[in-house]
Amino acid sequence: MKYLIANANIVNEGRTFKGSVLIREKYIEQILEHETTISSEQYPGYIFINAEDKILMPGVIDDQVHFREPGLTHKADIYTESKAAVAGGITSFMEMPNTIPNTLTQTLLEEKYKLGSEKSLANYSFYMGSSNDNLSEIVKTNPATVCGVKIFMGSSTGNMLVDNRDTLEGIFRESPCLVAVHCEDENTIRKNTSFFRKIYGENIPIYLHPVIRSEEACFKSSFLAVELAEKYNTRLHILHISTAKETNLFRNDIPLSQKKITAEVCVHHLWFNSIDYTKKGNYIKWNPAVKTNSDRDGLFQALLNNQLDVVATDHAPHTKAEKQNTYFKAPSGGPLVQHSLPVMIEFYHQHRISLEQIVQKMCHAPAECFRIEKRGYIRPGYYADLVIVDLNTPWTVSPENILYKCGWSPFEDVEFKARVIQTFVNGHPVFDNGTFDESERGMRLTFDR
């Protein structure tokens, strides 16, 4: 099929300009920059989409999601969550290995890729998981077809904690591709947990979550990861930075393309702070924890000054019943992919970040960090992963418009000013004003490594 997305305000590669994009089959054919309005008659044979007064941007690439398949599909699955993702402007995702079974062998990894090819409406990649004893499987990972190797240096959902120093040294030394790390120091967390358990028993108040999973726990683990990466010249990407102190570990004096150590921040750490536990309770229980207002402000500043390179979600659904539990029994994580781009554009409306910076952090930077082939930019010859957004059509998040399988969102009752109108994945209009064309599936991401 051939499409013409016409008369848009195109946000791409640090600029915004009026123009149009021609799509042929899966690819961007041509970018037209023009001041005057063009019509369908000027380009016969193309399906005409008038995007006047709307923005056109590359599809968002989310480098950290948990879609729960296989083994945890009562919470979510690849089909439902990829559907929510494209409705939120995400055209590619990278999914984590703490499913059941844990993705700790190449055979299990390829089984997940098969599920992705059958079910995902967005483009996909899956991380190879790590444990204290699967280095022989990790070294077989193909860097051209797998996004990275994931290490849980702090425990979270599932049982994939890697706490053996020799194992960590081995992974950092021998991993054939990018190493992505969840950084929280387990000994610090256990010590803090023991202290508060003696006071509160099993009924620890949720507001103590960021005290238990503390700044110290995060910084100590992130410092170790950076130390190991520098020792072995590892390509390291630290996930979901949650404290202002950690941002001092990262450089902003060299271009992203030259960085060996990069870091991301997630939308919930930019939006919520510790005061919100009073109202939201376990619904904003994440690992790492949402922390203080000072941390939130520090993260935002580090994002703007390029110490933090990527904005992601750590989308990690649980059922309402699971969340409505006591502190220790309520799992950490929450659903985010449908709302992450509206969240960031809300910050734009608050004059805190530009549209060009949003596109840099959510589209260009993930493509650069992971060296994804032909995605993340609006360029001729690149895959036509594109999103049309109306900046000024307010809508309120409610159970009636939430697409996550779990049926809830931490942003319920929030009014966003921007709405995703249409999402193209590989030149296919999978989402259009609330309706879906599911006749095509996404593609496996490939990497230029």
Q: Domains of the chain by range and CATH?
A: 2-57+377-389+417-436 (2.30.40.10), 60-370 (3.20.20.140)
Query: Quick one: pLDDT at residue 156?
Result: 57
CA–CA separation, 184 and 153 (whole Å): 6
Give the C-alpha separation, 330 to 7, whole Å: 48
Q: How far apart are CA 22 and CA 51, in angstroms?
A: 13
Give the CA count within 13 Å in the CB-facing half-sphere of 410.
Answer: 31
Element holding 322 (H helix, E strand): helix 320-323
Instruction: Order across the sheet with 236-238: list the strands.
Output: 128-129, 149-152, 179-182, 236-238, 261-266, 310-312
pLDDT in 10s for each residue of the chain, 449 residues? 999 999 999 999 999 999 999 999 999 999 999 999 999 999 999 999 999 999 999 999 999 999 999 999 999 999 999 999 999 999 999 999 999 999 999 999 999 999 999 999 999 999 999 999 999 999 999 999 999 999 998 665 556 889 889 999 999 999 999 999 999 999 999 999 999 999 999 999 999 999 999 999 999 999 999 999 999 999 999 999 999 999 999 999 999 999 999 999 999 999 999 999 999 999 999 999 999 999 999 999 999 999 999 999 999 999 999 999 999 999 999 999 999 999 999 999 999 999 999 999 999 999 999 999 999 999 999 999 999 999 999 999 999 999 999 999 999 999 999 999 999 999 999 999 999 999 999 999 999 99
Q: Which residues of 277-298 are buried (b: 16+ CB within 10 A; e: fewer)?
A: beebbbbbbbbbbbbeeebbeb
List the structure tokens of 419: 């709405």
The tokens for 116 are 């992705």
Distance CA 232, CA 228 (A): 6
DSSP type of residue 127: P
- Can you give the pLDDT at residue 436? 98
As beta bridge partners, residue 10 has 17, 56
DSSP 175: -
Would you say the pTM of this structure is higher than 0.85?
Answer: yes
Q: What would the two tokens of residue 140 be?
A: 């077989």
| Residue 162: DSSP 8-state | -
Give me 18's structure tokens: 């009026």
Sequence-separated (6 or more) residues with CB below 8 Å from residue 181: 150, 151, 153, 225, 236, 237, 238, 239
| pLDDT number for residue 163 | 84
Cα(23)–Cα(25) distance, integer angstroms: 6
Q: Are 254 and 261 in contact (CB under 8 A)?
A: no
